[in-house]
Amino acid sequence: TPINRLVQQVDGLTLDSVAEKFPNCYPEINPFDLYRAHLTNILAIITGVDSKIIYPSLSWTQGLDKGDLVLAAPALRIKGKKPDELVLEWAEKFPGNDPLFEKPTVHGYFMSFFVKGAPLVQAVIPMIRHYRGDYGCNKFHGLKDPKDPSKGKKRIIVEFSSPNIAKPFHAGHLRSTIIGGFLANLYQGAGWDVIRINYLGDWGKQYGLLALAFEKYGDEEALNKDPINHLFQLYVRINSEMSAEKEQIEKRKADGDDVTELEANSLDEQARRYFKKMTDRDPAAIAQWKRFRDLSIKRYQDTYARLNIHFDEYSGESQVSEEAMNAVGKEMEAKGICKEDKGAMIVNFQELVPGKEGKRLEKPIIRKKDGTALYLTRDISELLSRHEKYQFDQMIYVVASAQDLHLKQLFKIIELLGHKDIADKCLHINFGLVLGMSTRKGTVKFLDDILRDVADKMHETMRKNEDKYAQVENPEATADTLGISSVMVQDMTGKRINNYTFNMDAMTSFEGDTGPYLQYAHARVSSIKRRAGLSDEDLASADLSLLTEQHAINIVRLLAQWPDTVQNTMRTLEPTTVLTYLFKMTHALSSSYDHLQVVGSERELMKARMALYEAAHIVLGNGMRLLGLTPVDRY
Ligand code: ARG
């Protein structure tokens, strides 16, 4: 394998010895694992410190000018000597003829290590070409036992998107969809068995109300044509009717009238009764509701497909069985987790969990006075039944930080029920708000509205360059892809928890760190590839020792960081970890073009440079796809 080119440079080094000695060390797929291992071996001799301490202390640098790896002397915990003197001593002892590293540089108590360009280039480019779409993926991560693949994969459920049928698909759902899709890709790439669940808001009194609205104003044709919009319109109409009615009742009450009959026949009461029929599994009510649900799902699926997202299961609040909720309710009562309070069942966390935590968890209701279950009740049951059904090793809920308390309550109840093991497998991935989300055509109600608007804007921009535009095979589809990239990259730019402002002009610009810029970077390399017209054999036989320019070496140093970046992302679970890397890499690419011409160079040089650019193209494509983007080859 390509990494052997590096291994062979070092006397006495073998892949087996490295993999055995260091934890999570996979040099065959991650060049930096080999560099770290080799460097650790050298430093263990020089410092006398145990390898186990050195290996994890080698960290990434802020930028290429600071080296490829850096060691902070205090991390080695040597007593009695000043760390800045120690590093000077060690740097002095560092072999001057190491095949893989230059002599380290020292600043303060830091020691910076720069890898040698030539061996790196000759190992990493073939490695990327060898693994292609898999370069950066570490399939061992998802194995139950990394040493024994026959024991199978770990399983993770990623629950995300989870919109409410007949209600607007708001910014929270958009973010959940983008972040959840990304996390699912991330775990899949890391070899996990990933199950994507969409937990629809498809139950509750509001569906009773919706059914009433359909009885009154429903239009079969409109429903079939555009179920999401039609149901939403009905929902808006009936809701405004209901509030008008409520207002009237209040007024009559204030006037001292008897409103008993009015209330008994109110829309609110009718909706409650309708929903009661649904919970009693009345066949007609269930059939109607199921139609709304199925039609909505079909439409959602089309939109999700545009975002490269699919779900393995459309679950939802409706799917939680009353029996299961009753059973868990009884269990909670028996275990003293919930108790009656003014006819309702509540969880008084203050009495159950000591200190501030108990207070913060408040007093959620899990059964209303009329016996109906709530959002939280359904989540409790759903979590337990998912565990029974899927036996997951981990479950991620991608839900807005507005629901932090809800998920804390949920996980704590599971723990109090005696399932700490299950609660520990659950993780809430939260995120902040999107501010000012409206498009040119007004306030957004549905994901489709946003995507259509942004695509229109991209289409306009594309049209401005007539020559290029004429060559794009399917301009509408490309504009759509560029638009989606704009929205997604804007969303993934900051840390998840930060709020951001939806800014149509900024996100669709080709300048700055935007989605269109990434697509531009990708398309530019695609265009160089097309114009160079070299075959795969040409690239495979390229003489990579011709890549001596600092620009070329720097690109390869960045490409070598990709597997580490993905590993780090498994820890941060932040899309921005990937994006930051991709922008750093594309900036290095952009500034190299003037120095590393392909078309017009002498043939051998052309081959070598094209091999370099192709490697960059692969990594950029891998990164974009990991984020859920569709890389384009021209626009
Ligand atoms: N449908 C909910 C909402 O729109 C989000 C569901 C989150 N997932 C969960 N298991 N509670 O607010």
Instruction: Render pLDDT for 449-466 as a digit per residue (tens, 0 to 9).
Output: 889 999 999 999 999 999
Q: How far is the CA of 610 from the centre of ligand 1 (A)?
A: 48
Domains of the chain: 4-115 (3.30.1360.70), 156-203+281-322+371-429 (3.40.50.620), 440-627 (1.10.730.10)
Please report which confidence band the pLDDT of residue 229 belongs to, taking 50, 70 and 90 as the band edges: confident
Q: For residue 442, is pLDDT > 90?
A: no
For the cut 80, the answer to whether the pLDDT of residue 438 exceeds it is no
The pick from 293, 398, 403 for probing ligand 1's pocket by mutation, whose C-beta has the most ligand atoms within 8 angstroms, reads 403
Burial of 370 (0-12, 13-18, 19+ CB in 10 A): exposed
pLDDT in tens, 568-623: 999 999 999 999 999 999 999 999 999 999 999 999 999 999 999 999 999 999 99
- Residue with CA nearest ligand 1 atom 1: 201
Alpha carbons within 13 angstroms on the beta-carbon side of residue 161 total 27
Task: Find out whether 612 and 125 touch, Cβ atoms under 8 Å.
Answer: yes
The pair of structure tokens assigned to 459 is 């289409």
Cα(330) to ligand 1 centroid in Å equals 24
The predicted structure's pLDDT at residue 228: 85
Q: How far is the CA of 440 from the centre of ligand 1 (A)?
A: 28
> What is the tens place of the pLDDT at every residue in 60-110?
999 999 999 999 999 999 999 999 999 999 999 999 999 999 999 999 999
pLDDT in tens, 177-196: 999 999 999 999 999 999 99
Q: What local confidence, expressed as pLDDT, does residue 441 receive?
A: 67
Closest protein CA for atom 10 of ligand 1: 379
> 377 CB less than 6 Å from ligand 1?
no
Give, using CA atoms, the residue closest to atom 11 of ligand 1. Answer: 379
Find the range with the poorest average confidence among 67-71, 255-259, 317-321, 437-441: 437-441
Q: Which atom of ligand 1 is nearest to the CA of 383?
A: 10
Q: What is the ipTM of this complex?
A: 0.99
pLDDT at 444: 64
SS (H, E, C) 5-73: HHHCCCCCCCHHHHHHHCCCCCCCCCHHHHHHHHHHHHHHHHHCCCHHHHHHHCECCCCHHHCCEEEEH
Specify the amino acid at residue 380. Answer: I
| Mean pLDDT of the region 315-326 | 95
Once rounded to an integer, what is the mean pLDDT over residues 436-451? 75
pLDDT (0 to 100) of residue 538 = 97
Query: Rounded distance, CA 387 to CA 379, Å?
Result: 12
Which pLDDT does position 439 carry in this prediction? 66
User: What share of the chain has pLDDT > 70, as a percent?
Assistant: 99
Cβ(399) – ligand 1 distance below 6 Å = yes
Q: Are 307 and 484 in contact (CB under 8 A)?
A: yes
Contact status, residue 431 vs residue 496, Cβ threshold 8 Å: yes
Distance from the CA of 428 to the center of ligand 1, in angstroms? Answer: 12
Whether 445 shows a pLDDT value over 80: the answer reads no
Q: How far apart are alpha carbons 213 and 235 in whole angstroms?
A: 7
Question: Would you say the CB of residue 161 lies under 6 angstroms from ligand 1?
Answer: no
The pLDDT of residue 443: 65
Measured CA to CA, the distance from residue 466 to residue 134 in angstroms comes to: 37
Q: Is the CB of 164 under 6 A from ligand 1?
A: yes
Does position 437 have pLDDT exceeding 90, yes or no? no
Q: Which atom of ligand 1 is nearest to the CA of 382?
A: 10
Residues identified as active-site: 167, 170, 173
Predicted confidence at residue 314, as pLDDT, reads 97
Q: What is the pLDDT of residues 538-548, one digit of tens each?
A: 999 999 999 99
CB atoms within 10 A of CB 576: 16
Beta carbon of 397 within 6 Å of any ligand 1 atom: yes
Q: Which atom of ligand 1 is nearest to the CA of 172?
A: 4
- Burial of 256 from C-beta contacts in 10 A (0-12 / 13-18 / 19+): exposed
Contact 136, 619 (CB under 8 A): yes
| Centre of ligand 1 from the C-alpha of residue 628, in Å | 22
Task: Tell me the CA distances in angstroms from 295 to 118, 165, 320, 450, one per residue in order.
Answer: 59, 10, 20, 21
Do 457 and 515 form a contact (C-beta atoms < 8 A)?
no
pLDDT tens digits, 255-289: 999 999 999 999 999 999 999 999 888 999 999 99
Q: How far is CA 561 from CA 68, 428, 616, 631, in A?
A: 9, 29, 12, 21
Is residue 440 scored above 80 in pLDDT? no
CB 70 within 8 A of CB 61: yes
The answer to whether the CB of 381 is under 6 A from ligand 1 is: no
Distance 210 CA to ligand 1 centre (A): 19
- Per residue in 140-165, is it b (16+ CB within 10 Å) or e — as a string? ebbbeebeeeeeebbbbbbbbbbbbb
Residue 543 three-state SS: coil
117-141 average pLDDT score: 97
Q: pLDDT tens for residues 96-119? A: 999 999 999 999 999 999 999 999
Once rounded to an integer, what is the mean pLDDT over residues 412-427?
Answer: 98
Q: Which atom of ligand 1 is nearest to the CA of 406?
A: 11
Helices (H), 255-321: 260-264, 267-279, 283-306
pLDDT at res. 1: 84
Average pLDDT of the residues in 15-26 = 92
Q: What is the DSSP string of 318-333?
A: GGS-HHHHHHHHHHHH
Give pLDDT tens digits for 367-384. Answer: 999 888 999 999 999 999
Q: Average pLDDT of 126-144?
A: 97
**Rounded-to-integer distance, Cα 167 and Cα 233, Å:** 9
Percent of the chain with pLDDT over 90: 91
Cβ of residue 162 lying under 6 Å from some atom of ligand 1: yes
Residue type, 336: G
- So what's the pLDDT on residue 201? 96
Pairing assessment for the beta strands 500-501 and 434-435 based on DSSP bridges? parallel
Across all residues in the chain, what is the average pLDDT?
Answer: 95
pLDDT at residue 561 is higher than 90: yes
